[in-house]
């Protein structure tokens, strides 16, 4: 069985995006149905847009927590 792995830029080519906004945690800064892309503390960049309400926006973890790597550090609003 062959697995298809999407290209990191496959969907990014099909959207118009605003500039990246730095994020330090808190309540979701846009309406939850807004389509966004995210960049996480661990360097991961979303491959395509998703609704803002699907993400965890707060940074409530302690600095020692390995889960802190999944914090959103930047986002941008996109339109397809």
In degrees, to the nearest 5, what angle opens at C-alpha 76 toward C-alphas 47 and 36? 60
pLDDT at 14: 55
pLDDT at 1: 42
Structure-token match 């330090």, residue found:
24
pLDDT at 4: 37
Q: Where in the chain are the domains? A: 25-79
pLDDT tens, per residue, the chain with 80 residues: 444 333 344 444 556 889 999 999 999 999 999 999 999 999 999 999 999 999 999 987 787 888 888 999 999 999 85
Gap between the Cα atoms of 60 and 48, Å rounded: 25
- Taking the model in full, what pTM does it have? 0.74
């Amino acid at each position: 069985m062959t697995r298809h792995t999407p290209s990191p830029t496959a969907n990014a080519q099909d959207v118009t995006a605003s500039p990246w906004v730095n994020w330090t945690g808190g309540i979701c800064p846009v309406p939850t149905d807004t389509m966004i892309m995210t960049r996480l503390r661990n360097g991961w960049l979303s491959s395509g847009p998703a609704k803002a309400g699907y993400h965890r926006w707060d940074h409530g973890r302690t600095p020692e927590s390995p889960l802190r790597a999944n914090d959103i550090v930047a986002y941008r609003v996109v339109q397809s």
